[in-house]
């Protein structure tokens, strides 16, 4: 059996929606499908002010522009993160201050954040690993106390909730990814979620090249022009049409992923209880969207052996992220603090195949091969 790590989701309706774009002749951005995606994100996911972007990375860059991040500012980010979670801010000249993960979970350890805040701190990035929520209550309280902004890197977490609020809809700003490795996608794509009402109007200007076209279209001004900084952040209608086909099916997609996730968990619980590896831990009262199923081995060597053993059986499993404080770009800039939990997840976390087209039979085969490895 050959089982890839990921097969990008295909619903089957995407073609039809993209054909409508061909017929209409409206290929560039901000057309009817962009509008329909915004409406779904508002109505089904309860995001108040979503704007589609070309990626989660560009949504994070929009956030950095919107918050006026500049040289001299500091931004607190978990080290166990995606490159662009940090690069969106580093590229604006900010000093990145890396925080460690929780002991039992890759998410940022909220108890460490306050000790990293200085008068120069402008923002905290909360990354919801595997679509499982950070402790947003604590993070928002710290942000309020120190008057800094919170950006949720919710690239992985569409469909998850935290205290009945949609993940990505809690911080001042949120970002989601529609990359083809995510639960729903359009190849490359994303969205920024503007939750802080004071940022809404300006966000639409920065999104739209720094022009007041939105005000022009809604008749508020008689002509539009260059009014602020900004860039071209929006995707074409072709991408939006593809995404629309997927967003309409988000609930069913998440449901099936949860089935697969739970079967992994149940199938591997016994091995884990015998101490062979750790399974994902969930904080009380939180849910997730089954973006990723992972386990944490006892050592880096064992992880490599497991990946090789699965590979020899046709199963592709992968690890990530490299702790950013140890990356070649950043290691000289890091202040020397040991981030032991981030290092542990960097060295020992391995992700198993989890995608909509994975059958329960294939999944059983994967579970069997993991068992064989540990009972060898």
Ligand X SMILES: *Cc1c(COP(=O)(O)O)cnc(C)c1O
Residues that bind ligand X (CB under 6 A): 55-57, 82, 84-85, 127, 153, 155-156, 177, 179, 190
301 contact partners, CB below 8 Å, separation of at least 6: none
Shortest Å, Cβ 82 to ligand X: 4
Shortest Å, Cβ 313 to ligand X: 27
Q: What's the chain look like in SS3?
A: CCECCCCCCCCCCHHHHHHHHHHHCCCCCCCHHHHHHHHHHHHCCCCCCEEEECCHHHHHHHHHHHCCCCCCCEEEEECCCCHHHHHHHHCCCCEEEEECECCCCCCECHHHHHHHCCCCEEEEEEECHHHCCCCHHHHHHHHHHHCCEEEEECCCCCCCEECCEECCCCCCEEEEECCCCCCCCCCCCEEEEECCHHHHHHHHHHHECCECHHHHHCCCCCCCCECCCCCECCCCHHHHHHHHHHHCCHHHHHHHHHHHHHHHHHHHHHHHHCCCCECCCCCCCECCCCCCEEEECCCHHHHHHHHHHHHHCCECCECCCCCHHHCCCCCCCCCCCCCHHHHHHHHHEEEECCCCCCCHHHHHHHHHHHHHHHCC
Name which of 177 and 236 has its Cβ closer to ligand X: 177
Shortest Å, Cβ 286 to ligand X: 17
Shortest Å, Cβ 78 to ligand X: 10
Name which of 263 and 327 has its Cβ closer to ligand X: 327
Shortest Å, Cβ 81 to ligand X: 6
Name which of 82 and 89 has its Cβ closer to ligand X: 82
Name which of 188 and 302 has its Cβ closer to ligand X: 188
Shortest Å, Cβ 177 to ligand X: 3
Name which of 84 and 161 has its Cβ closer to ligand X: 84
Name which of 127 and 247 has its Cβ closer to ligand X: 127
Shortest Å, Cβ 274 to ligand X: 31
Cα 299 to Cα 269, 303, 341, distances in angstroms: 19, 6, 13
Name which of 127 and 366 has its Cβ closer to ligand X: 127
Contact predicate 76/117, CB 8 Å: yes
Structure tokens at 143: 């942000």
Shortest Å, Cβ 344 to ligand X: 18
Q: Return phi, psi of residue 4, to 5°.
A: -70, 165
Rg of the chain's alpha carbons, rounded to an integer?
21
Name which of 53 and 161 has its Cβ closer to ligand X: 53
How many residues does this entry show for the chain?
A: 376
Shortest Å, Cβ 176 to ligand X: 8
Name which of 185 and 276 has its Cβ closer to ligand X: 185
């Amino acid at each position: 059996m050959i089982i890839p790590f990921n097969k990008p989701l295909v619903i089957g309706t995407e073609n039809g929606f993209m054909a409508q774009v061909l017929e209409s002749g409206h290929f560039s951005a901000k057309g009817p499908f962009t509008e329909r995606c915004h409406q779904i994100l508002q109505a089904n996911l309860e995001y108040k002010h979503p704007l589609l972007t070309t990626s989660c990375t560009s949504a994070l860059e929009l956030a950095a522009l919107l918050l006026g991040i500049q040289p001299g500012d500091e931004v607190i980010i978990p080290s166990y993160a995606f490159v662009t979670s940090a690069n969106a801010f580093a590229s604006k000249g900010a000093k990145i201050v890396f925080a460690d993960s929780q002991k039992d979970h890759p998410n940022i350890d909220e108890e460490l954040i306050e000790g990293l805040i200085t008068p120069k701190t402008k923002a905290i990035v909360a990354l919801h690993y595997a679509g499982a929520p950070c402790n947003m209550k604590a993070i928002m309280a710290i942000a309020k106390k120190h008057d800094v902004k919170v950006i949720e890197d919710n690239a992985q977490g569409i469909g998850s909730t935290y205290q009945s609020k949609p993940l990505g809809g809690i911080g001042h700003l949120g970002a989601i990814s529609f990359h083809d490795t995510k639960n729903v996608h359009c190849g490359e794509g994303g969205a920024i979620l503007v939750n802080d009402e004071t940022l809404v109007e300006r966000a639409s200007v920065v999104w739209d090249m720094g022009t007041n076209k939105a005000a022009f279209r809604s008749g508020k001004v008689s002509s539009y022009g260059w009014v602020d900084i900004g860039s071209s952040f929006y995707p074409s209608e072709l991408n939006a049409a593809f995404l629309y086909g997927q967003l309409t099916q988000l609930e069913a997609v998440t449901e099936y992923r949860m089935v697969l996730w739970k079967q992994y968990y149940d199938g591997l619980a016994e091995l884990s209880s015998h101490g062979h590896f750790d399974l994902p831990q969930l904080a009380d009262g939180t849910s997730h969207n089954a973006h990723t199923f992972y386990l944490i081995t006892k050592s880096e060597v064992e992880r490599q052996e497991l990946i090789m053993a699965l590979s020899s059986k046709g199963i592709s499993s992968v690890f990530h992220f490299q702790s950013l404080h140890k990356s070649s770009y950043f290691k000289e800039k890091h202040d020397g603090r040991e981030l032991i939990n981030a290092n542990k997840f960097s060295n020992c976390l391995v992700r198993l195949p989890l995608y909509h087209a994975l059958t329960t039979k294939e999944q059983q085969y994967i579970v069997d091969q993991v068992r064989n490895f540990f009972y060898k």
